[in-house]
Structure 1
Amino acid sequence: MQATVAEVSLKYSSQMSYDEMPTITSPEEAAKFLRGIFDPDTIELREEFYIVLLSNTKQVLGYSKVSIGTMTGTLVQPLTVFQTAILGNANSILVSHNHPSGNLKASNSDISLSKRLRDAGKLLGIELVDHIILTKESYTSMKELGLF
């Protein structure tokens, strides 16, 4: 008797042409894009973690909320981040989370996660271009600070 198992299939279908997709080539552009996807009514309430999928020309292919946490933290698995990146056909990724406290300083766990994502991405050929910490009023680029 043959066992029945789930079929796994991959599909990627964009609703926009490449010419219409926004491009992110700087932390400023990243923060502007991220402000459009983070909910301004909850940015001071709880931490959330997003991944932005980028093409080889840094055009935005899509984004996904990876994790919703508490006032002081959120759990992120590299597996989930790269599963999303692979399914979305990303060449590189930008990740971001918010600090409800308004503090822009990266925590030790923020730095550790960024390094893990950078290293996992290297193995998969998917570059981590930046990790943006967003607050209600500002942002910081962990890449510009040399934290990973």
Structure 2
Amino acid sequence: METKVNEIAISYSGSLKANLLPKITCSQSAADLAYSQWNKDTIELHETFKIMLLNNANKVKGIYETSNGGITGTLVDVRILFAVLLKSLTTAVILVHYAK
């Protein structure tokens, strides 16, 4: 009997050219960019955890919302977090969490 397993394919698709991506130069620029991408209508309603994905030149490839919780907490599944990091070929990550 032949053993069979599933084949797993991983892909990442970015639509912006690297020279158009915003660059993180300091913690303030990261905070400003993260805040600008947050939904201001719900920012104080519940806790949210996001990751900012960067390339080797500290340019932001994207921001991914990893977890959206309740009033007092949110749970982050590290398996999902690492899956996103690996699929996007990210070389640096900034963890972003907002709680009121």
TM-score (norm 1): 0.62
Matching residue of 2:31 = 31
2:36 is equivalent to residue 40 of structure 1: no
Provide the rounded CA distance (Å) in 1 between the counterparts of 2:3 and 2:37.
43
1:1-148 aligned at under 5 Å gives the runs 2=2, 5-100=5-100
Residue 7 of structure 1: how far off its partner (Å)? 2.8
Provide the rounded CA distance (Å) in 2 between the counterparts of 1:83 and 1:37.
22
Provide the rounded CA distance (Å) in 2 between the counterparts of 1:67 and 1:49.
5
Cα offsets for 1:17-60 (capped at 9, x unmatched)? 11000111211111111112211011110001001110111001
Residue 81 of structure 1: how far off its partner (Å)? 1.5
Provide the rounded CA distance (Å) in 1 between the counterparts of 2:37 and 2:3.
43
Q: Is the 8 Å Cα contact of residues 62 and 88 (structure 1) preserved in structure 2?
A: no
Report the 3-state secondary structure (helix = DSSP H, G, I; strand = E; otherwise coil) of the residue aligned with 2:37: coil
Query: Where does structure 1 lack aligned partners over 5 or more consecutive residues?
Result: 101-148
CA RMSD after TM alignment = 1.5
Count of paired positions: 100
Provide the rounded CA distance (Å) in 2 between the counterparts of 1:11 and 1:20.
21
Provide the rounded CA distance (Å) in 2 between the counterparts of 1:13 and 1:76.
24
Provide the rounded CA distance (Å) in 1 between the counterparts of 2:7 and 2:62.
25
Report the 3-state secondary structure (helix = DSSP H, G, I; strand = E; otherwise coil) of the residue aligned with 1:12: coil
Matching residue of 1:105 = none
Query: Where does structure 2 lack aligned partners over 5 or more consecutive residues?
Result: none
